[in-house]
Structure formats: structure tokens, C-alpha cells
Structure 1
Amino acid sequence: MSPLAERMRPEDLDHYIGQEHLVGPGGVLRRSIEANTIPSMILWGPPGVGKTTLAGIIAKKLRRPFYILSAVSSGVKDVREVIEKASQYSRELKEVPGNAILFIDEIHRFSKSQQDSLLAAVEKGIITLIGATTENPSFEVISPLLSRCQVYVLRELTRQALLAMLQQAIERDDYLRQRKVDLKETDALLRISGGDGRKLLNLLELVVQSMPPSSPAIMTDEAVLSVAQQNLARYDKGGEQHYDIVSAFIKSMRGSDPNAAVYWLARMIAGGEDPSFIARRMLILASEDIGMANPTALVIANACFEAVNRIGYPECRIILSQATVYLATSPKSNASYMAVEEALALVNKTGDLPVPLHIRNAPTRLMKELDYGKGYAYDHSRQGSFSGQEFLPSEISGTRLYDPGKNSRENELREWLKVRWKDKYDY
């Protein structure tokens, strides 16, 4: 018997749960499907929100040949074979208009050369590409391919949608109907599944299977937790759903513990995590949690990101380890991160304040006549390359957004700022 999530995979939009903004009544993607005019697209969203299912529904609704490739196990040869089959289909008489559909799961794992192999076929309309990814396509899909695709963002499933998914499974699945499942409590199911519909349904079935077959399956939080603790602790080899381990990795580096950080790094490597994903998270940490305490950390993290994308496994594990140790042992400061957060809050509060006239751009005669740029002091022409002029709108003049952290590097910055801005900012 196939897993419950597979048995419950809907074949039409009427039974598809979630993503109402795309496929609900009047949704942009639903209109395209009904008009049989779907573009090549990238479906971007977290695990278990219906990307693969939606691709299958589109192909079934449009009655087109449907080819599936996984970026984990497929290469350029596989892509070319599918394109050849699709070309043959396009040359033959078809019952309905439209070309073949190629669905590529985890398209973010395709290399640049693999993605390049898709370009001509997408451009010529030999195939309609549907790519699914959990990663930001702006970073993971090459620009020429991305420009030929429409990006649809699939949102995390709401609590209401997840409960509807459970209820639909209990009512429609033969096995669950036979077991007379009674949902007494659902908090543990929803919490452990983390918004992943596939994980939710498979966990439901796992708990039901653990109960005596001679009596109704009463679903309580206690029953779910007892089964989950025994069966769901392992790292998923797909490496997509385990944000807990990524979180432990980040928090270990933030907490300056290189031993724990390298351990969690090894857990991700052993689990087959995408090295680009690991390196990208390290890039964020280098700025968010280290920042001006050690600006070189961002340089190291960026060099690591570029290197792992060139080298790949297994050798890139060494580079990841070196960068991990460097970030974990660097002094920490979130001052730059907090500065931009406070600045955004100030913008939301004060709105679009006018730029002071003396620092506006004045490329035309009219603008100069309106005093654009008048009174601006060119800092390099002043002693110490510092004029002390006003740069903020008058309504928020004197607002300090950057508060240097308490580390040797930023202590020096604080003193530097005190000397220059002692009459304006409280440093």
C-alpha cells in the first residue's frame, strides 16, 4: 500500500487544498489552466504545500504528455531525451492544443549547464516547463531561464487548510475509514508536521498503524507524540524539511561554539543537504550576527559560498568546516541588523519624508532654480573629510539608528562617531 499522502494526492482542483490565491475561484493560475494557456513556470514554496500535486493536476486537466524528472537524480542526458520525446509529440497530430509538460522537482539542484539545456526547448515552445523549488529562484535559477518562466509563490498551508486535509483523508481513504479514525486532538499533529501537508498525512497514518486494529483509532496529542519520538527523529535524506538542524547550526555559530556548529554541519552533510543552502545561511549569519564586529566574516562567508558552488561534494565539506569554525569563533554583533530593522520601523511610522533640499540631486536648470543641492557641503573639501551637515529629514533629525555593539571593533567605531557627531547623536 502506498503512503497516505500519495493515496490522497488530488487529481483535480476541486479537491486541492490551499493556494486559493492561485487556484481558487478567479485565481490567476486557475484562469490560465481553464483557458489552456499556461506559461512555463516556477512553483516556489516550502515543502509539502502542493507543488508536485499542482503540476500533475495541470497536466491531467490539459490532457498533455507529462514528463517528470528529479533534479537530484537526473542529468543533461535525461533532459535531452525528454525534449526529443516532446519534439516528436509536437510534430504529430494532437487531440488538444499545447505542448508537452516537463515537471522538474527540486529544480534548484540543477547545475547551470543542466538549466542551460532547457533554454532552447522552453524558448521554442517544445516543452512547457514546470519547476518546483523550496529555494528562492532568484538565486537558484539562471536568469535566462527565469526570464522565460512565470514565478508562482505557494504559501505555507494555514491551520484551517491542514485540518481540512486531515478531514478529507479520514472521509475518503478506505484504510482510514476502516480504522474509524477519531480526531480528538490535533495540536501535536500540526506542530510536528510544521505546515508540511505530506508529512502531516504520513504522520497521521503512522500513528493509526501503531494502534490496535480491533478498536477505533482515537487520535490524541499523547498518542501522536509517543509515535513521533520513536519514528521522526532521523534526518531526512532529502534535506528539505529539517529546519530544526539548520536552526541548531546557526544558533551554535551565533553562540560561538565551533564544536557544536561543526557537529550540526556534519549532520547536514551526512543527510545530503545542499551545500549551497548551508553556505547561503552562513552568508546571512556573517552579516546578521557578526557584522561590524568582524567585517571580514562576510568576505569569508561569500568566498565559501562561491567555492562550494564550484567544487561540490565531497571536497566542499572542508571549506564549509573552515568557514563554520571562522564564523563561530568571530566576535559577534547584531548592531547593523538592528539598525536597518529600526530604520524600517521608522519609515513605516513616518512615511515618505521629503529629502532635504541641500542633498537632492540637481541635474537640470529648473531643479537648481528650485534650490536643489543649494548649500551642500562637499565633505572631502573640509578638514578631516567631514562637514557635519544634516542628512536626515528635519522631522527625524538626531534619530540614532546604529548603536555600535560592545566589541573591540565597534568600540573604536563608537569613539570615532562620538568625535564627529557629539552635538547631534548620543553616542
Structure 2
Amino acid sequence: MSDSPEGDLFGPDPDVASPEPEPAPVALDPSAPLAERMRPARLDEMVGQDHLVGADAALRQAIEQGQTPSMILWGPPGCGKTTLARLVAAAGAQRLVTLSAVLAGVKDVRAVVEAAKTRRRNGVGTLLFIDEIHRFNKGQQDALLPHIEDGTLTFVGATTENPSFALNSALLSRARVYRMEAVGAEAIEALIDRALNDPERGLGGRGLTLDPEERQRLARAADGDARRALNWLETASDLARDGAITGDALRAVMGAQSLAFDRQGDAFYDQISALHKSVRGSDPNAAVYWLTRMLDAGCDPDYLGRRLLRMAYEDIGLAAVGLGARVLAAWQTMERLGRPEGDLALVQAVIELASAPKSNSAYAALNGARAAIRDSGSAGVPLHLRNAPTELMRAEGFGAGYRYDHDEPDGFARGQVYLPEGLEEARFYSPRRDGTERALAERLQRLRGGGEDPGDGG
């Protein structure tokens, strides 16, 4: 991998035998896409990332002082990760070299490192920016470590994936993680206005107009991706009539809106988490919203059906006996009808799940029993509970003293112990007093003679 003007902020290396001259910005290419031409040239021009580059932000102060550490920029597409890397390099008068983890390998990293060592001897630093760093395997990530540690280069990696899962701990320990947010609709509107009015980098020389409502619709449809908004704006500008970018032109360009959703990425797990917590929190409106977001963004309906069925048993449980069967029926309806007709079955199921009384007593009982088994080991079955089909087993005391519950008053053998020795008083199931579980709680209390309340009073 050699430094190239396209991937290098300052252009190609001069003769390495002499010190490098003061860097000069690359000239603006008027044929470049609008999103590229409108890249912020200063920190003040960045939108939507005030928590990182606002006036009082610690990262901004470090950048302006040219003392930025190696870092991981974690955020959704179009939020400015590449732009921030460029600004970091410019502020520190470093040569920017970019690699894509999709195409590059260890050989390319080694080439960059050798050039960085030469550059360092001439008093010039190197910032290596690797886009989609999560696509590097462990060996490729490890190849960066010694050169980050000894200062040969400053490393900036960009990822849309959660670094906790996508990057190895050795790399994470040598780089700070900065989370970048999706750009808000208001910030994208401001960026659209800037592009329409900037005569040098934007579309300002063409006298184009855009209705405020259409501008707002465009900003919202971009779904936090500033680059997407500018790409749509540029294409729609070519369809302008009498200098006006119309709603019809925008709709033709945008087509079917693509919502933020990645079947294996953060958006996927964040949204399913929001759906599950909305059901648990008894908010049917939020539950319907997140379910619809995921369905319309392309989530596998079978996955959603499985998750709803899990919620029925984990969070509603015995408080609404029979709801699990109805959720299963809704899932099977979706399988038979397909989309979009089957969507209604899942929506109906999620509304009932969110509106139903909640109980995790069975879930808690399962976890409690597992913990007791782990701590106590393979405790023996009490002799009176063991089966005794042979004379020898009966002689050994198997089944001795067992009382058949159906022969007892109220069909309940009071005082009979069913748990292993040492666990006789264990209580894994603590029924709540919500919904249908109230009847179970009252029966257990009655069988125990009205003394200890088996429920939690919920």
C-alpha cells in the first residue's frame, strides 16, 4: 500500500532525503460528489457531534492542541467518522493515510508502517485511518499494536459495530473509544441549507430553492445519515424545474426509505431491546412502534415471532396463562399469511403482551433452581420418593413412607417433603398476585395453612 493523493490529505510524499515542507490542503475537485465537496474543513463546520467537537469538549481541545490519542470512532454511517479523522490529521500536521479493512491486509499495514518510520525520521507524523476496522481479524488487529505503542503512527479506526464485540481487547486497551451519534434532523436541515447556499463547494451558484417542508422531509428521511441526505439533494437538483427542487423530484430520488437497521449490527440489537423493554414496561404504543420499525426495515418475521413467544413466558408468564399459546398462534398465522397481511397478527400479539399483567416468577424459579443445583451438586432423591418396583428396592427402603396425595384430605399430603436433604426449605417459586397467578398464590397459601404467604404481594 503506497500513499496516494486520493487517500492522503497532503498529497504524495516528497523526497524522503529532505524534510517535508509545510502541508497544503488538497485543492477542491468540482467534479467530486456534493457530499465530498461539503465535508467540513474545520471543526466548527461539523454537525451533530457537539459532545465530541463542541467548544468545551475534551476531544476538541486535544485535537486543537495536536495531542489526540489513537482512537476508535464508533457510530452509524454518515455521521462524520472519516471527516473527523481528516480534521485530526490536519490539526496535528500529520500525513493522513487511509485503508479500508475490506480490501487491505497485514501486508498493506506493514507498508504504511515502513513509510511512517521514514516520515518520522524527517519530523512528520502519520495518522493511519482504517475504515470498517471491525472487518480486520485478530491477527490483522494485532499487527497494529507495536506501532501504536511506540508512536510510529497515530491510529484512528472507524466502525459501525460495537467495539466491545467487534474488536479485540488488546487493541481497545491502546485506543480510546468515542461514540458518534446519528446526525439529528435539524442538523441535517442546516447542512442542506449550507449546501444550497455555498457557491464554492455547494449548489449556491445555481439559484436553487427547496420548500421548507420538503427540506424537513428530506432531513427526516435521511435517518441520521448526512451523506445520504446530500447525495439525494444533489441528484434531485438535476431534476429541478425552473430552479425549484420539487417534492416529486425528491420522492423519485429517495424511493423506498431505508431505515437504520442491520441484521447483525447495533441497530438490530438496540431495537429488539427497545421492543422487549416496551412490552415489559406495559407500553403497547411503544411496542407497536418498535415492532413496526423492525418489520418495515426488513427484520425476519420468524425472528420477531420467536422473540414475542419468549416474552410471553419470560415477562408475562403465569400472570396471563394461555397468552403464550395465543402468541404462538399469531406467529404461525404470520408464517401462513406472509407479509404484509401477517403483520397484523404480530401487532395484535404485541399489544396483548404489552397490555397484560406481568410476572417473571417462573423465570426467577428457573434461575433459582439452577443456582441451587450448581451450589449443592447432585443431591440424592429422598428414599420415600424413589420408585420401588422390586422386592430388593423395597427392602432398601425405597418408597417407604410415601403418602399418595389423592388419598389425603384436600388431595394434599401436608408435611411431606419433596426436595433433597439440605434444600427442604428452599423456595424457588414466589407467585405474584397479578392476573391469573393470583389464584395460584391463594391456593398455595391455603395449602400451607394460611401461614407463610407464598407470594410477593405484587
Which range, TM-score by smaller chain? Answer: 0.5 to 0.7
Deviation string, structure 1 residues 46-77 (Cα, Å, up to 9, x no partner): 11111100000111121111110111111111
The one-letter code sitting in structure 1 at the alignment partner of 2:71 is M
* Residues 1:56 and 1:288: Cα distance change in structure 2 (over 3 Å): farther
* Residues 1:147 and 1:387: Cα distance change in structure 2 (over 3 Å): closer
Mapped to 1, the partners of 2:138 and 2:359 lie a distance apart of 36
| Structure 1, unaligned runs of 5 or more | 257-283, 294-327, 341-378, 389-397
* Partner secondary structure for residue 79 of structure 2: coil
Report how far residue 202 of structure 1 moved: 0.5
Report how far residue 8 of structure 1 moved: 0.6
Kept in 1, the 8 Å contact 2:186–2:219? The answer is no
Matched, 1:249 2:295: no
| Correspondences of 1:86-101 after superposition (within 5 Å) | 86-90=116-120, 92-94=121-123, 99-101=125-127
Cross-structure match for 2:158: 132
The one-letter code sitting in structure 2 at the alignment partner of 1:204 is L
Report how far residue 424 of structure 1 moved: 1.5
Cross-structure match for 1:385: 426
* Residues 1:63 and 1:43: Cα distance change in structure 2 (over 3 Å): same
Kept in 1, the 8 Å contact 2:75–2:159? The answer is yes
Matched, 1:217 2:244: yes
Calculate the TM-score normalised by the size of structure 2: 0.56
* Residues 1:418 and 1:187: Cα distance change in structure 2 (over 3 Å): farther
The one-letter code sitting in structure 2 at the alignment partner of 1:424 is G
| Structure 2, unaligned runs of 5 or more | 1-30, 269-292, 317-345, 361-419, 446-451
Cross-structure match for 1:35: 65
Mapped to 1, the partners of 2:76 and 2:259 lie a distance apart of 20
The one-letter code sitting in structure 1 at the alignment partner of 2:210 is L
Cross-structure match for 1:188: 217
* Residues 1:252 and 1:173: Cα distance change in structure 2 (over 3 Å): farther
Kept in 1, the 8 Å contact 2:432–2:457? The answer is yes
Report how far residue 383 of structure 1 moved: 1.7
Matched, 1:203 2:232: yes
The one-letter code sitting in structure 2 at the alignment partner of 1:249 is C
Report how far residue 182 of structure 1 moved: 1.6
Of residues 8, 11, 17, the one that matches 2:47 is: 17
Mapped to 1, the partners of 2:312 and 2:104 lie a distance apart of 37
Cross-structure match for 1:165: 191
The one-letter code sitting in structure 2 at the alignment partner of 1:136 is N
Report how far residue 129 of structure 1 moved: 0.6
* Partner secondary structure for residue 158 of structure 2: strand
Cross-structure match for 1:177: 204
* Partner secondary structure for residue 140 of structure 2: helix
Of residues 146, 150, 155, the one that matches 1:120 is: 146
Kept in 1, the 8 Å contact 2:70–2:176? The answer is yes
* Residues 1:118 and 1:167: Cα distance change in structure 2 (over 3 Å): same
Kept in 2, the 8 Å contact 1:45–1:133? The answer is yes
Mapped to 1, the partners of 2:353 and 2:149 lie a distance apart of 45
Mapped to 1, the partners of 2:127 and 2:78 lie a distance apart of 21
Deviation string, structure 1 residues 231-271 (Cα, Å, up to 9, x no partner): x779999x989977884224442236xxxxxxxxxxxxxxx
Sequence identity percentage: 37
| Correspondences of 1:249-398 after superposition (within 5 Å) | 249-255=299-305, 381-383=422-424, 385-386=426-427
* Partner secondary structure for residue 29 of structure 1: helix
Report how far residue 93 of structure 1 moved: 2.6
* Partner secondary structure for residue 132 of structure 1: strand
Aligned residues: 300
Deviation string, structure 1 residues 101-130 (Cα, Å, up to 9, x no partner): 100111111111111111111111111110
Mapped to 1, the partners of 2:100 and 2:140 lie a distance apart of 12
* Residues 1:9 and 1:236: Cα distance change in structure 2 (over 3 Å): farther
Kept in 2, the 8 Å contact 1:12–1:61? The answer is no
Mapped to 1, the partners of 2:54 and 2:48 lie a distance apart of 8
Mapped to 2, the partners of 1:142 and 1:417 lie a distance apart of 53
Mapped to 1, the partners of 2:216 and 2:431 lie a distance apart of 44
* Partner secondary structure for residue 183 of structure 2: coil
Mapped to 2, the partners of 1:170 and 1:192 lie a distance apart of 18
* Residues 1:399 and 1:31: Cα distance change in structure 2 (over 3 Å): farther
Report how far residue 291 of structure 1 moved: 5.8
Task: Judging by fraction of residues, say which structure has more helix.
Answer: 1
